[in-house]
Structure formats: structure tokens, C-alpha cells
Structure 1
Amino acid sequence: MDDVLLAGDSKRQRRSGNFPPSMWEEHLQALLANSDDLMNKENSSEQEEEHYERLKEEVRKMLITNETDHGDKSNPYRQKLDLIDTIQRLGVAYHFESEIEAILLSLRMELEEKDGGHEELHKAALLFRLLRQLGHCVSCDMFNKFKDQDGDFKKSLQKDVQGLLSFYEAANYRFHDEDILEEAMNFTASQLLSMLPNLDNFWSTKVKQALKLPIQKTPSRVGARRFISLYQQDILHNTILLKFAKLNFNMLQRLYQNELSIIAKWWKNLDRPKKFPFARDRMIENYFWILAVYFEPKYSLARISLSQVINVVSIVDDIYDTYGFLDELVLFTDSIERWHISASDQLPSYMNNCYLEMLNVYSKIEERLSNQGKSNQISYGISSMKELVRAYFEEAKWMYSKDVPNFEEYMKVALMSSTYKMLPINSLVCMGEFVTEATLDWMDKTPLLIRAASIICRLMDDIADSEWAKERGQDASAVECYMKQYGTSKQETLIELRKQLANAWKDINKECFNPTSVTPMFVLERILNFVRIMHLLYESGNDAYTNPTKEGKDLIISILFDRVPL
């Protein structure tokens, strides 16, 4: 169908998002030119593989014995905790999950036998964090012993940089009503800031990184790349562990580049410049987003599939947000609800192209799931896509009517349009054999974990994007709706919304606290990882997806393209 015309046959003026172009043309061309070479290099040589496996077994031996040169040899308990923490932060813990779980459970029993924990703050805080990371029950009451008779944290802690830093990281896992951890956040952050001028380069870097992006809010690959560089500066670093982490990082990077070359070919064949010139070109940013959700090698096919899904969603978002006329959006929404190739006949050509590609992407996912005996799971992905475009359509109607709804009405729709229900559901669908239908049923009901993730995504996006959205004619945002309903200034509104963000993080922490057979930890982690990448890209107050920065590009290059020197 040709572009729809108004009465009188005069062409309507389409809006433009004025989106910055892609920053990745050179890298994209290299991926396309070297795709065959990348596929050949994906598999290491037999000699490299043997060396890698030998190092891995040496690290495993360190875990299950006390034979390690890592950390404080005079304190085996602390030594083991530090080793586990280092393995996790270097991004190689996925090789040793059962060993780490067993050790931490053993240390937890020892903690309980000590009736309240350890006298050393670093040790107590580190064990607390490591256990909570795995979803185990551990009470924050163990930190009461670090207070004096007046209820203040002991003055002796003020010079313990390692203890304070570990306590700060632990406090980022707090739940609602855990007052001592709330106090710890303020106390440790204040003390660490005051200590910065007197710290050496190693500790100064460590503290600055933590204050800007604590472990709980750091995507795994980003944390691993930064920690490899930092750990190398530690005079007590374990050379075997460091070598293994570097090899692991580079081996995974080769896999990611191969996946990117596959997606780049698909993206090129999609012909965005001709078919969707109005849409953001964020193919590599989208892959980086999905890589943050699951980095492990076994999820390679899931990453490729979900990367295609998120690229299609980005185009759909730009159709609803900027390019589509309201009467066209009625047709587009109807076609997606019908979900059949025959429904494309009613669409303008640009919508038709997008619609057919959407069907094609999901058809390929369904084919792969069918081979795994999981074809029924595709319905959850399709249903969540329909739910998403209904929300997009409601927002489009607000925009065309210049309506600014009240905050609660806005959030009801905007949490869905945040994509942070749709994308997590699709991330599990793409995992296929690893996920059960019971888990998808749970997620489809919008549990608190999904709602909290959606709140964080929506509020961070709106805080970063409110002025940009107004320039595009979109008056409805969390910021604008709250100000209108409650008569607050923008500054007052931002303070309130940031409180809601902090509360949503507490919900995230609590909901990841008790994994079950329906919601195992590896499922909960996917949702947490979606929140982590959102925080990383938007925490500066800038929409780094719509308006990419050099800093963001450099970060992605360090993960996907620059090898770690061995």
C-alpha cells in the first residue's frame, strides 16, 4: 500500500527523530569482510585449548584445596573468600558454579556456628555479599557488632579501606527495611570519598570504580574487563588465575565477533538505509545489550536470535514514536495482533517491510525451538510482542492528542512500553531447552521482579530523555506527568523518581533472594542483567542508546574488539 494520504491528496509531513547516525560503519564493514576468517578463528588450536583446559583445572584445584598463592595465607578462611570473589569478578565463575556453591554453603554453616559472624568487617561483608549474590538467606544483623554503644559505626572502621569497600558493596544488596544497610550505604560512601586523596593508585581506582558502578549494578563482561586490568596491578595477584581470565576473555571475544558477523549479514540484508531510513541504526549497541543479558558460550544461539528481535523492536519503536501516522499505526497494531502474513496487505510499504521481517525472525526462532521440542514456547514471545505494541499505540494516541495523563495512568502503559517485560520473556524463549513452560507462565503474569525491572528501565529512560522527547512532540513522560499531577518542580520530581528507582532496586534484590525450581537463579539473573545494562547506559543521565557517546563506544570496543594483552 502506498503512503496514506489525507483528504485532498496532499502529502502529510512526517516527523523525524533526527537520530545520530551509527558510530560503527568501519567496524561493521570489517565484520562483513572478515566473516569467513572470524568463523575459522572461533575455534582455538588444539595446543591453545589444551593450555586453556590445564589452567582451568589448576584454578579448580585452588578452589577445592587450600593450595593457592592468592591473598592472605595466614587466614585460609579469608583466603578462600577472596579467591571466590576474584574468580567471580574476573568473569570465569561460570566454569566453577558447583564448587563455589558448595564452598559458600560450608562457610555459611561456619558463620552460623560463630553465632553472628566474624570480627573482621571485610570478611563478614564479603561473605554476606557472596551469599546474597547466589540467592541464599543471610541476615544483615551480623553487622550490628560493628556498631558502638551509641549505635554508630565504630571509629576503628574509618581507616579500613578494604573493609569499608566490602561493606559498601554488600549494602548494595539491601532489601526494604534493612536500616543498618541503609546507614552503611551513606557511611561507607562518605568515608571512602574522604579517603580518596590519601589512597595509592590501586585502591583509588578500585574505590572510584565501585562508587560509580558497584558490583551489583555491573554487567559481567564490563566488570571482567575492568577487573582484569585492576587485578593485574595487585602485587598479590595469582598469575595462573590472571592468565586463565585473560585467555577466557579473548576466547569469548572471538565467539562474540563471530556472532556479530552473522548478525551484521542479517542487518545488511535487511537494508535499513533504504527500507527504514527513519530508524536508529544501533545494531552493535543492541548486540552489546543482549551480551550483557547472557554472555556464556552455551547461549550463543540465544544471543543471535534475541539480537535480531531487539533490532526489530527498535525499528517498531521508531515507527510508533516518530515516523508513523496515527491511522497507519491503527493498521500496524491490527496486523501485529493478527500475526499472519496476509495481514501485511493493508500496510504502507515501510510498515510492510518491518512486519514481514518480524514474522520472519520469530519463524526462525520457532523452527529452532521445534528442533528442541519446545515449539510451544514461541507463543510467549509473540504474545509479549503484541502486548508491547498495544502500549506503543496508547502512547502514540497520547502524543497525537497532546494529552498528558496522570502519573499512575502513564506508568501503567509506560512500564509495558519500556520493553522490560517483552525482552526478558523473549530472552527466555530464545534460551529454548534451558527454560521450562512453568517459568514462562510465571514471567507472563508480570511478577514483582519484572515490574521492578520495568520501573528502573522506564524511569531511567524518561529522566535521561525527557527534553529530547519533548522536542519530538512527546509531552507524556514520567517527569512531565508527575510534575503536572503533583505540581512539583522538575528538581523535586527528579528527587522523587530517584527514590522510586532506589526502591525498585530493593525489590530486585529481594526477588532474587529466594530462587525456586520455577525461578532458578540463572533465570532471575537474566532479569537482573537487563537492569544492569540499563543502569550502565543511562546512569549518567544521558540516553546512550539514542545519543551514543565516545565513552560508550570505547567501552564496547574494549569488550568486543580489543583483545586483552596476555
Structure 2
Amino acid sequence: MAAPQRVCAFEPSVWNDFFIPYEPQPLQMSEECMRVKMDELKEDVHGLFETLEDRAVEKMTLVETLQRLGIDHLFQEQIDTVMKEIHRSESNDDSLYEVALRFRLLREHGLWVSQDVFDQFRGKDGSLNKDIVAIEQRGVLSFYNAAYLAVHGESELDEAISFAREHLESIKSVLKYPLSEQVKRNLEIPYPRTLKRIDAPYYIKEYKHEQGCNPSVLELARLDFNHLQRLHQQELKAFCRWGNDLYEEVGLSYSRDRIVECYFWSYTVYYEEHYGHARIILAKLFVLSSLLDDTFDMHATLEEGRKLNEAIQRWDDTAIPLLPEYLKKYYVKCMSTFREFEDELEQGFKYRVLYCRQAFQTLCKHYQQESEWFHSSYIPSFEDHVKCSVMSAGTPSLIIGSLVGMGDEATDEAFEWAMGYPDVVKACGEVTRFMDDLAAFKHGKNKLDVASSLDSYINEHHVTSEEAIAVLNNLVEDAWKTTNQARFGSHVLIPIVNRVANLTKSMTLLFRDKSDLYTFSRGNRDRIHQHFVEPIPL
């Protein structure tokens, strides 16, 4: 029996045209003065690296501060040099805070360090020495965050997370500011899964209360945030015009209008100034993919979906007559947008768009597979579901799109690597898929939704929803460990792996508290306002 046609009832955009006429309030200094001042402050911070010389702890603290303030992108060469020096040198630290900080920073930068460095803080029974825990409150938070960089097989770090979380929960109400706020945030989202740019406004506010606060570093962080915010505001204004024109042109009124959210999502992958072109291309791909997703999920009949998939696989004007009338303009717009991507790229980079198109076609195939299941009321095995739905989560294909506008680091090797859907790319899809399905389950499944991975697991293994939820949560944790492990592969690919990790981290915002904050976007309104409307007070 054919499945009934689905009816869409998505919430309207919470932003409407807000950013198109929006003109931010004048800053306390002109753009030119801001740039001059930032250059002076950058020289001051460059000097700090030289002043610290062989003092490893101070250098680690500086790197940590720059990362938390979101200005490490201004000092990448110096930071890379420092981390290699720290990795080569012996560690004589006896502070839990410092050992955990060194462990986390090295692993974040793709430099291996063993979990055995924490043995000195364990008693004979293997548990953390309680005397140290009582003394080192900040050290426990550092240890807790470090443990989230575990790879597969590091069960001691899994135990450390449980131990440290329990301790932090018990003391969070008596901690002093700003440690109290940092503990609160990291208990919600551990720091290694937090996006630096998203955390920066909070830490900029807190840093002046930290021991050893450097006024030059703090001022640079404030100026850099505001400088980049102005750039993002200009991009967002133009992007909203593009998005509104697209929605009006294609006329798919059943779809989610999430233009601002698509830009924000791309921004979480790369906020830096020199990634502007990459950011806009990825944001446009988010929009086109979202429209395609909604068409298969919420509107197209089985036959219409088949025709759309056939047209997208052919990718040619001769496929237009295949389509129902309401999908023709969307299809034409997809092809013209990809042509625009190619036109915008330098001659030597134009080949990248072919990879991007192939990834988009792969995504469409998986949407169509899910449509076939839905319309035949079929619940696949969990294994078959995951093979398809990890890809239909969209992020594996979007990762390839994220490389198109990047610079020289997006090499031929990087595209071939990404097109092979290596473990870290699949892990991003797994985090996306399982967090999405857990959110959908929490908020009530629509009877016209396709069976989720959770449904497949329950159906195949005859378990309760609670047991299935535990399995999916464990699979999310396994995917994070795969993401951590990927940093220790080819150093040439580390810049790409870091962008994949950023996209994975963005899921902690998108599905915060098991809510779908893309579909139900009011939940991210304040955060988007914070990044694109509110400047940092100078």
C-alpha cells in the first residue's frame, strides 16, 4: 500500500529579512584605526612567544589563552612551533592542571601523548588520588576536558570522565567566578567538543578575571571579534539577499526557510577572514541540500522523487522535462549555482566543483533510498539503515563541499581522501545521524516520518527504547573517538581534519539538549544574535 503524501508544517523563519536592511551601530573606533591597533597588539603578542623562551608551562598557558579567546588563527605558525617544542621536551609537571593541559593541547595539534601521563595521580586501586582532587579544582576540570580526547581502547580515560564529572557536579555551586561558569559550560558541552568561536565571547568576558590576564591579549581578542563580526555581517546581508531570491525563484513553500541558520552553520566550520569564499559556498550548499531533503521528506511522491533523483544523476538540461513542474526551477537553480561556483574559482581549482557535484548526487541517491523505504512502509536492518542514513545525514557530502572554496591546503589528495569517505568523515555523519534521531525521538516522532535508526534497532533487536537510546549514545561516543584518532594520521591532512571536526562539533549546537535547533530554530536565535548583532564592548 502506498504511503500517504506528507504535509509540511515547518515554523517560519525567526529572522525574516532582519539582516538585509540591518545596519550595525558604529563601533568605538573606525575600521582603519581598528586594523592599525590590531597590528600593534599582534606584535606585542608575537613578543610574548619570544619572551617566554624555554618556559613550557607559560607557553602552554599562552596557547590555551589564544585558543579560548578565538585569536589563535592570528598566530598559527608560532603556536605550531611551540607545540612541537613541547612535544619534543620532557615533561616534569606535577600539577594535574598542567599535565592535563599539555595532554589536551598536544592531542588537539595531532601530536601523540599517552594516557599514562596521568598514572602519577592515581592510587594503587587505579583511581585518582582524592587529596589532589580536593586541592586542584581547576585541575579536575582540565583533566575532565583532556579525557574527552580519548581514542578507542582508552578505557581509563572513559572512567576519568565519569569520575571528574561527578566531582565537578558536586562542587559547581561553590566555585568562584569565572571557574564556576567554565565548569557549567563544559558540563553541558566538554571543551574539546566546543567550537572556539562560539566559546570566545564568554571567555573574553571572563579572561580579565583570570590570574595573569594580559591586557594586550584581551584587547586584541575584543578587536578581532568585532572586526570579524563586521565582515560576517556584510557577508550575511548579501547571503540573505541571495537566499531570499532563491526561495522566491524556486517556490518550494513546503521547505524550511533557514537562510540565516545555514550561514551560521557554515560559520561554525570556518569563521576566519580568509575563508570567506569557502564559507559562502558551503552556506549555499547547506541551503540547496536542505531544500532537497525537505522535498524528499515532506512533499514528493515516490514517483516524483525517482524523477528528481534521475535528473540530478544526469545533471543536464535535457533532464528538465522529466520533472514535475514544481521542481523544474529548483533543478535549474542547482545546476546554475554549481556553474557559478566554477566561474568564481581560479583555473587550477575549477576541478573541485566536479567532486562537489558528485557528492551532491551521492546525497540525493541516499535521500531516494530512504524515500523507497518510507513509501513501502519498510524498516531496514540497523546495519542497512546506518549505511544509508549516515550519508543522508548530509555532513559527509557537505564536507567535500567545504573544501571547494578553501585555499592551497585543499589539495588533490584532500579531495580524493574526502571522496573515499574515510572514518573521520563517516564519524561526522554518525554523530549527525544519531544525535538527529535521538532528538526526533525525544520530541515525538511524526507518523509520516521515515523509520529512524532508533526504530530499526528496536525492530531488529526487540529491545526497549531506553536500551536503544543507550546504544546510539555509545555509538556517538565511539564516533568522537574516531574523530580524535584522525588527528594522528597524515599531517598534510590535519587542516582538513580540523574542519571536519568543526562540522562534527557544530552538532553539539544543532542538537543541544536533544533538540533539533535547525528545524526549530528559535532555540539558536540568541546565539546567532550574539555572533552577528552584538559587538564585544571595548
TM-score, normalisation: structure 2: 0.95
Structure 1 residue 23 corresponds to structure 2 residue 9: no
Q: Does 1:323 align with 2:314?
A: no
Residue by residue, what CA displacement relative to the aligned partner does 1:229-281 show, whole Å, maximum 9, x if unpaired?
Answer: 22133354221111100000000001111111111111121234970110000
The answer as to whether partners of 2:96 and 2:121 remain within 8 angstroms in 1 is: yes
**Distance in 2 (alpha carbons) for counterparts of 1:77 and 1:467:** 46
Shift in Å at residue 346 of structure 1? 2.1
User: 2:304 is aligned with what amino acid?
Assistant: E
Which of 75, 79, 100 aligns to 2:58? It is 79
CA contact (8 A) 1:410 1:478 kept: yes
Gaps of 5+ in 1: 1-11, 68-74
Match of 1:229 among 188, 195, 205: 205
Q: Kindly indicate whether residue 418 of structure 2 is the aligned counterpart of residue 443 of structure 1.
A: yes
Within the alignment, does 1:45 sit opposite 2:31 as a pair? Answer: yes
For 1:509 and 1:128, how far apart are their aligned partners in 2? 13
Instruction: Indicate the SS of the match to 1:443.
Output: helix
- Tell me if the contact between 2:87 and 2:111 (Cα under 8 Å) persists in the aligned partners: no
SS for the counterpart of 1:449 is helix
Change (3 A) 1:468 1:46: closer
Between the aligned partners of 2:4 and 2:369, the Cα distance in structure 1 is 21
1:406 aligns with one of 360, 376, 381:
381
Aligned-residue Cα RMSD (Å) equals 2.1
Q: 1:140 aligns with which of 107, 111, 115?
A: 115
Q: Secondary structure at the match of 2:348?
A: coil
Q: Runs (4+) of structure 1 moved beyond 3 Å?
A: 271-274, 466-470
Where 1:430 maps in the other structure, the secondary structure is coil
8 Å Cα contact 1:104-1:131 kept in structure 2 = yes
5 Å-filtered alignment, 1:92-107, equals 92-107=71-86
8 Å Cα contact 1:459/1:478 also seen in 2: yes
Match of 2:505, as an amino acid?
R
SS at match of 1:96: helix
Q: 2:130, 2:490 → 1: CA distance?
A: 38
Corresponding residue to 2:518 among 545, 556, 561: 545
Match 1:362 to one of 338, 351, 361: 338
Query: Contact (CA 8 Å) 1:374, 1:433: kept in 2 or not?
Result: no
Distance in 1 (CA, whole Å) between partners of 2:8 and 2:486 is 37
Other-structure match for 1:347: 323
CA contact (8 A) 1:309 1:361 kept: no
Q: Secondary structure at the match of 1:79?
A: helix
Q: What is the alpha-carbon distance in structure 2 between the residues aligned to residue 415 and residue 44 of structure 1?
A: 47
Would you say how many aligned residue pairs link Structure 1 and Structure 2?
Answer: 533
Q: How does 1:165-180 map to 2 (within 5 A)?
A: 165-180=141-156
Question: Which amino acid counterpart does residue 32 of structure 1 have in structure 2?
Answer: I
One-letter amino acid matched to 1:361: T
- Does residue 1:188 correspond to 2:176, yes or no? no
Alpha-carbon shift at residue 46 of structure 1 (Å): 2.9
Deviation, 1:64, is 2.2
- Aligned partner of 2:204: which letter? I
Which residue identity does 2:15 align to in structure 1?
Answer: W
CA distance in 1, matches of 2:373, 2:475: 24
- In the TM superposition, residue 47 of structure 1 has moved relative to its aligned partner by 2.5
- Are the aligned partners of 2:250 and 2:333 in contact in 1 as well (CA < 8 Å)? no
Cα 1:121–1:467, aligned 2, differ >3 Å: closer, same or farther?
closer
Distance 2:537 2:44 in 1: 21
CA distance in structure 1 between the partners assigned to 2:407 and 2:297 by the alignment = 32
Question: Quick one: distance in 2 between partners of 1:444 and 1:469?
Answer: 35
Contact 2:251 2:326 in 1 (8 A): yes
* Letter of the structure 1 residue corresponding to residue 470 of structure 2: I
Distance 2:43 2:250 in 1: 52
Q: Is the 8 A contact 1:140 1:178 kept in 2?
A: yes
* Code of the aligned partner of 2:292: V
User: Does 2:476 match 1:476?
Assistant: no
Distance 2:200 2:338 in 1: 32
Aligned partner letter, 1:523? I
Contact 1:15 1:472 in 2 (8 A): no
Question: Deviation at 1:347?
Answer: 1.4
Q: Letter of the 2:42 partner, please give it.
A: K
Q: Please say if residues 420 and 454 of structure 1, whose CA atoms lie closer than 8 Å, have aligned partners that are also in contact.
A: yes
Distance 1:235 1:475, change over 3 A: same
1:289–1:533 contact (8 Å) kept in structure 2: yes
1:388·1:422 contact (CA, 8 Å) conserved in 2? yes
Deviation at 1:199, TM superposition (A): 1.2
Q: CA deviation at 1:524?
A: 0.4
Q: What TM-score results when the alignment is normalised by the length of structure 1? A: 0.90
Q: Secondary structure at the match of 1:412?
A: helix
Query: Equivalents in 2 of 1:264, 1:198: separation in Å?
Result: 45
Change (3 A) 1:475 1:488: farther
Residues 411-465 of structure 1, C-alpha deviations (whole Å, 9 max, x = no match)? 1110110112100011012325441111111111111111111111100011111
1:80 is displaced (CA, Å) by: 2.2
Whole-Å Cα distance in 2 between the matches of residues 144 and 459 of structure 1?
34
Whole-Å separation in 1 of the counterparts to 2:8 and 2:247: 19
| Cα separation, 2, equivalents of 1:13 and 1:150 | 60
Alignment of 1:335 onto 2:329: no
Q: Give the equivalent residue in structure 1 for 2:362.
A: 387
Deviations 1:204-240 (A, max 9, x none): 1111111111121111210112211221333542211
CA contact (8 A) 1:418 1:458 kept: yes
Q: Which amino acid aligns with 2:455?
A: E
Cα pair distance change 1:14/1:485, threshold 3 Å = closer
